[in-house]
Structure 1
Amino acid sequence: MKEFNGEKFCKDLIELRGTDSQSAFAEKLGINRSTLSLLENGKQTPALELFNKVCNLVPKSTEEYFKETTEEDSLVYLKGSLEDADKVKIEEMAERIRIKKNTNT
């Protein structure tokens, strides 16, 4: 499974802006300054159109902004929004899967 690499996108976006003010650069991208600020700080994921525009300006392949995630990464992400009791159940199930996987190999 692949996941958007927001840190890399933020870093490249800030680097791309260079010495331009946020307002001036946001105008070039066709977005509000506040949206640019959210993007640069990793608080917002870019819309597809903006993402493609930035990739063309960098220039980098869109694929470079996605990274492989492990089963463990996916579980950590999912667990973030769960109640504590549900987190425990997920961990127990994951452990059973690991044990089963190890006995089958």
Structure 2
Amino acid sequence: MRNNVKIARIQVDLTQQQLAEKIGVTRQTISLIEKGKYNPTLKLCLEICYAVHKSLDEVFWIEEEEFKNEDH
């Protein structure tokens, strides 16, 4: 899964720590999400989106090729 969390976070002038505190996770979790090393739950994705005032599809997506290659 790909994301624009870092871009969206910077646009609303939040540090990783501030975003983490706002949604109840650690700064390390935000860092891992931004690097694409951790796929958050849908609930966490939505909390991030609400915190940065963006829609889900503006912040998170999966490339069609990746989706087709995953085991369902």
What TM-score comes out, normalization by structure 2 length?
Answer: 0.61
Q: Which has the higher helix share?
A: 1
Higher RCO structure (Cα 8 Å, ≥6 apart): 2
Match of 1:48 in 2: 42
Larger Rg: 1
Q: In 2 relative to 1, CA 42–11 (structure 1 residues): closer, same or farther, beyond 3 Å?
A: farther
Q: In 2 relative to 1, CA 39–55 (structure 1 residues): closer, same or farther, beyond 3 Å?
A: same
2:5 to 4, 9, 29: 9
What displacement does 1:19 show? 5.1
Question: For this pair of structures, how many residues does the alignment match?
Answer: 69
1:18 to 13, 18, 23: 13
**Identical-residue share of aligned pairs (%):** 30
Q: In 2 relative to 1, CA 7–61 (structure 1 residues): closer, same or farther, beyond 3 Å?
A: closer
User: Unpaired segments of 5 or more residues in structure 1?
Assistant: 79-105
Q: Deviations over 1:26-70 (max 9, x none)?
A: 12220012111111222111221111112122322223333562x
Q: Is 1:36 matched with 2:30?
A: yes
Superposed CA RMSD in Å reads 3.0
User: What is the distance in 2 between the residues matched to 1:24 and 1:39?
Assistant: 15
